[in-house]
Structures are given as structure tokens and as C-alpha cells.
Chain A
Amino acid sequence: MHKFLIRSFVSSLVLLFTLTVAAVAKDVKAAFVYIGPTGDHGWTYQHDVGRKAVEAAGFKTTYVEGVPESADAERVLRQLANSGHDVIFTTSFGYMNPTNKVAKEFPNVKFEHATGYKREHPNVSTYAARFYEGRTILGTIAGTMTKSNVIGYVASFPIPEVIRGINSFTLAAQKVNPNIKTKIVWAFTWYDPGKEAEAAKALIDQGADVIAQHTDSTAIVQMAEKAGVYAFGQASDMDKFAPKAVLTSVENNWGPYYVDRVKAVANGTWSQKDTWHGIGDGMVVISDLDSQMPADLRSKVKKLQADLASGKVHSFTGPIYDQKGNLMVAEGKTADDGMLAGMMTYVKGVEGDIPK
């Protein structure tokens, strides 16, 4: 009898809880604007995984995929703001100006813009991930696994985000292997499987036996698989596309942030923020480490991961020199966020010049 009472009490609590969640769900509606198709297995795919987490938390969501950064973005944003959405996530840099423009017209709608720097109105927040922390891990692995001491890196655009990644990667690789060189090919695209594969091929032909990427398609890891070299997945766990080549992936994990922000809107506690989360906050996730890596490397990586998360290790710890040998960060110091946000010089060990 007691058990029955407790059980019914618990189940009624659960019911009450579900009803509350349902009531919240009716109130707040979130919208997501994507640059690519949800099936790209890269940037957009991961944002959509985040959106599904918001749905799972009991909120209604809408998304529009393949929205070009042309004049169309503004119309899509206005339509979403006009059709009862309370918070709109715009997940590509090129939406920055339209986001701020539409935000001005809809002061009651919250806007969250990924990877941008403009917050012209109190209802615009920006968010990004400290992907460079993930690249410290990749650099450590690449520096250890390379035999040719040439590491290839397919880059997208010469913006601080990408330069920072190249530097963080190279610094970590140098730490475990002072002889390595990082060769860069600029693809000038975020997503173009053809161009990316070509870039990877060019790097492999130049002797690179580990390929890193800052573009979103699976073409590079597939090219690496074919050529018998190592590679790293970008944005999502790309192991299944190239099981032999992929040593690990850096995953973009937006779900917790999205759920957090939508809940804040529901509770009325949302306020303007500039978020930059890394491994510690779970926005950057390292996938399973491949068993081809020696056990001691794997445990070293695990420890590095924990230290990056706790803040014990910083990706940019001095002394750091640029290509010409000028000191960028003094011994014992770490680069501050301002320096990271505007980073436009290569560190020593990177080959070539930043395209101007």
C-alpha cells in the first residue's frame, strides 16, 4: 500500500513536471537559420544537432536551411521574427549585418549570432567556440604521428579565427616535435568538397602525412583515407567517413548553449552576452581517440584535454615567436582574448604568408 502511494505520488510529480515543461514549450519558440543543408555533416549539421537538443528540452523550433548571405537573409530573419519566434539563432558570419538590422525592428525578439562581433542592439548576443583549444589537441597528435615532419593544413579564409587555429595547432605540434613544418593551402571556401579534396591532394603531394582542416566537408578525410595518410574530422565526428585516416575529430557542440539560452528567454532572464566557450564548457568536444595512436599518446591527450578544460594549460603560452622571430607572447604569459580575437600573424614554423 505504501509503495503504491509513493509510486502514485512520484508519477503525479512526473506528470506535473511534464505539464510544466509542456506549458513552457507552448510559450517560447526558437528559430535557426542555416547557411548550408542540414545534411552537410559539418557546420550546419552540428547546429541542427543543437536545435534537436532544444526540441528535446521541450521547446518548439523552426529552421530554414540553405539561406544565402545575399539580400535573402534579411527577409528570412524578418519573416521568422514576424511569425511568433522569440529567439533566433543565425549561424553564419555573413548574417551579421542582416541580424543587427532586423534586431532593431524587433526589440522583443532575441537574436543570437554565431561567430560575429557586432552587437548593435540590446537584443543581439554573439557566441562562438574556442576551437583553437581543440586544435592544440590535434597539433599534439599530429606532431607525434607524423613521420615526414610535414603537416598539411587546409584553411578557409585568412581571418583571425582560422589563423588562430593554425597557430595553436602548430605550437602544440612543435612542442612534441620541434622539426615539424605546417604547410597551408587556402581553399577560400567553407564548404566545397571538390576544392577541399584538391587542396588535400596538393598537400599530400608535397609530402604531408597528416592533414588538418578548417573547412567543413568530409572530402579531406576521404582523400586522406585514399592516400593512406592521417587526418582529423571537423565539426562532427567524421570517423565513419574515413575510419583508417581519422585519428579524432573536434566536434562543435552547440546543444547545451542553445538549451541554456532558450531557457533564459523562457524565464525572462535573457540578457546580451558575448560568449566564447571552449573544452571546459563543453562547446568544443574531442571525439574518441583512434586505437592506431600509441597508448601513451592517448593518455597524454586525455590529460591535455583535462588541463585545457580546467585552465591549467592555455593554448597560447609564451614564449611565442612570429615567423620573423619577433616575440609575440613573453615567457610565462598567455595571450589574452583581445590578442586572440585579432590574431593576424603566423607563429614560427608555419610556412608561407597570410594571403593579403
Chain B
Amino acid sequence: MIKIVKRDQPSRAIFFFTPVLAIFLTLVAGGLIFFILGFKPFEALKFFFIVPIADKYGFSELLLKATPLCLIAIGLSFCFKSNNWNIGAEGQLTFGAIVSGGVALLFYEQEGFYILPTVILAGAIGGMLYASIPAILKTYFNTNEILVSLMLVYVSKLILDYLVVGPWSNPEGFNFPETRQFSDSAKLPLLFEGLRIHAGIFLALAAVVISWFVFYKTYLGFQMKVSGFSLKTAKYAGYKGKKMIILVFLISGACAGLAGVGEITGPIGQLHREISPDYGFTAIIVAFLGRLHPVGIIFASLVVAITYLGAETAQIFMQIPKYTGQVFQGMILFFLLASDYLLFFKIKFIGLKK
């Protein structure tokens, strides 16, 4: 007989085991889906998860793809750890990209060592400004940050649309919705000749280190943790909740803004309507799959990044519809949430003795 028993305390081992379990279950379910669709499951999984990163170029593309996901997820973990549900990282990314792209266009065809740092800083500030809206509305007007941050995503995309169609569109570009290409002085340097991986990866790594330090070595990190467990306790302990809420939103916004900077001053090199394939939303999966832990998020961003690359390879070589990549992302989150049940409950097998 199987019996389900509530745990006295969430198990720490299980806490880090369930993401692995979720990935494993995703692979099994994915293989099953491939099989039902009429593809050889092992071959399909190979093209999905191994072939895309089998060479140097592929691996560099994996890092390129994981960089914005990691950066945003690190930022989000500040919010999520402290019970602040910032769902609008995509909007903060977009707004950061707008501000930073505007600065880059301002410096069009100019040289100077100060240009790139200014462009990067502008992106971080843009993201922070945009994240401050749901934060301030939440702290002073008690609004729901999920709704506000989510709806602001669409606002930011419309602002971007307006700018690239109208005032910022390339004067030589026949009015197509895109800006000029940024000058090299405003672009992130490439790390290797012939590969697209750029200096933005250092921003992501810095974010990882800083977040680890803040989470586990500072008073702020402790406050966030306590607020995450229980808001009442935090209040009782006398923490100034408002300040912390605004701070975590600002950090989160800055990270998302920097991710936007990495895209437009890295591989894209200009502003247009599609600067992000919804990194801001996918990063939510990454943050939870990584258990809101800096190191976990590194691994999670790599796993999720590969679902993007794998979907392309699988379509090119096996004619598997590319949208299966999104199915995989959905399944990872689904299995993760489902297996989190094990955090609070354990399954006991009881013998059928009389």
C-alpha cells in the first residue's frame, strides 16, 4: 500500500533533487512525445540535447543564449526570495534596451572609451526605472505587483514599436521598423574571433557572485529570506519592508535591463521590434528550476538555453516542429511544480501484512 505522509520539515536533499527529477521526467516525456509523433526517441533527444553543443561554435551559442536567461533569473531571485512577484522582467529588459539603445544612437559614429560604459549603465538605469513602477505602486498604493509588472511588459513593447517605427527609425532604411546599426564603439567586444559570445557573459557572472554574497553574507539577504518565509515575522522583527521591496525590484530591473543591453549591443547591434524571444518570461522558469540559488541558476539557464538550440537542430536534421522547444520548457516547469509536492510530503510504501 502507498501512503502519503506530510513532512515535518521540507527536506533539504529533496529541495535540490527535484529539479534534477523534473529534467529527467521531461526527457522521458519528451522521448515519449517524439515516439508518438513517429520519430526515433533517442535519436531525436540526441539532436535536441547533444548535437547542438557538440562543437566549439555550438557551445559558444549555448553560453550566448544562457547569458540573458542567467542574468534575468539572478535578478528575479532577489524578488522571488523575498515574496515579491515580479513577472515583468521582459518589460524591464525592453525598457533597458530602449534607454541603452537611445544612448548608443546618440553616440552614432563617435569614438571614445566612455561610450560603451555609458550605454551599459543607461540600460541598467532604464531597467531600474521601469521596475520601480510596480515597486512604488506596491509599497505606497498596495497594488498587486504581478498585474502591474506584467501589464507594463506590453506597454514597453509598444513604446519600442513606436520608437523604431517612428522617431528612431533608420533614416536610410526605407521606414522599415528598425534603427541604425550601432557603431562599434557602442557594442560589447566579442571574446573570440568568429564566435558571437561577447563580454556580456562577465556581467552575468558578476551578478552570480554578487547575488551569492548578498543572499548568504549580508543583512539584506537575511531580511529577504525572513520576508520570504513569512511577511508577518518580518514585520514583527521590525524590518523596514518598503525599502527592501523597492531595493529588490531595482536590482531585478537592473539585471533585466543589462540582459537587454547584452542583446542589442551584442549579437543584434541595433534596436528593432524583436530584441528578445521572451527571455524575461523564460527566465522565470530558470529562476525556479535553479531553486533561486545562484549556482543552481547557472545550471538551469544552460538547461533551458539548450531547449532553444535543440529545437532548431531537431527541425533542421529531423523535421521535428521547432515549437517542441517551447513544449520542453513548459514540461520542465510542469514537472518541477509537480515534483515539489515531494518537498512537503513523502511517499511511504507499507507492506501488505495482515
Contacts and interface: CB of A to CB of B under 8 A. Distances in A.
Interface of A: 31, 37, 62-72, 74-76, 78-80, 83, 93-94, 97, 105, 117, 157-160, 188, 341-342, 344, 355-356
A79 B313 contact: yes
A66 B161 contact: no
B177 interface: yes
B43 to A, nearest CB: 16
Contacts of B141: none
A70 B276 contact: yes
B175 A71 contact: no
A74 B267 contact: yes
B196 A64 contact: no
B272 A160 contact: no
A160 B174 contact: yes
12 contacts: A63-B315, A64-B315, A65-B315, A65-B322, A69-B272, A70-B275, A71-B263, A75-B312, A79-B312, A94-B178, A157-B165, A356-B166
Nearest to B158: A188
Contact of B181 (A75, A79, A93, A97): A97
A66 B322 contact: yes
Interface string B291-327: 0000000000000000011001101110101110000
A158 B165 contact: yes
Given A70-B263, A71-B64, A71-B267, 16 more contacts: A37-B323, A64-B312, A64-B315, A65-B322, A65-B323, A68-B277, A71-B266, A72-B277, A72-B312, A76-B312, A78-B57, A79-B313, A80-B316, A97-B270, A342-B174, A356-B166
Nearest to B321: A65
A95 B276 CA distance: 15
Top 3 closest A-B pairs, CB basis?
A71-B267, A69-B274, A68-B277
A64 B176 contact: no
Contacts of B266: 71
B268 A70 contact: yes
A160 B316 contact: no
Contacts of A64: 312, 315-316, 322
Contacts of B138: none
Nearest to B58: A79
Nearest to A76: B312
B349 to A, nearest CB: 45
A341 B174 CA distance: 8
Interface string B236-278: 0000000000000000000000000001001111101111110
B183 to A, nearest CB: 15
A68 B266 CA distance: 16
A72 B266 CA distance: 12
Contacts of B57: 78
A37 B324 CA distance: 12
B61 interface: yes
Contacts of A93: 176
A83 B268 contact: no
Contacts of A67: 312, 322
A70 B322 contact: no
Nearest to B167: A356
A336 B274 CA distance: 33
A117 B170 CA distance: 13
Contacts of A79: 312-313, 316
Contacts of A78: 57
Contact of B174 (A62, A75, A117, A188): A117
B165 A355 contact: yes
A188 B269 contact: no
Contacts of A105: 194
A159 B174 contact: yes
